[in-house]
């Protein structure tokens, strides 16, 4: 599980459909929280 830095909820992966609920793209998310922010559990 990975934690969304916007809503602090845990998910199997941080996906584009989830980020759309925050009006963000994956690129926006990485710009806000860093290029190395994990999007999947194996990214940690």
Which of the four pLDDT bands, split at 50, 70 and 90, describes residue 41? very high
Residues written for the chain: 44
Asked whether the beta carbons of 35 and 25 are under 8 A apart, the reply is: no
pLDDT in tens, 9-39: 999 999 999 999 999 999 999 999 999 999 9
pLDDT at 16: 98
Q: What distances in angstroms separate CA 19 from CA 5, 25, 34, one per listed residue?
A: 10, 6, 15
The shares of helix, strand and coil residues in the chain, as percent rounded to the nearest 5, are 35, 10, 55
pLDDT score of 17:
98
Domain boundaries, given as residue ranges, for the chain: 2-37
């Amino acid at each position: 599980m990975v934690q969304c830095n916007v809503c602090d909820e845990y998910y199997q992966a941080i996906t584009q459909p989830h980020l759309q609920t925050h009006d963000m793209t994956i690129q926006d998310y990485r710009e806000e929280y860093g290029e190395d922010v994990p999007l999947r559990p194996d990214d940690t």
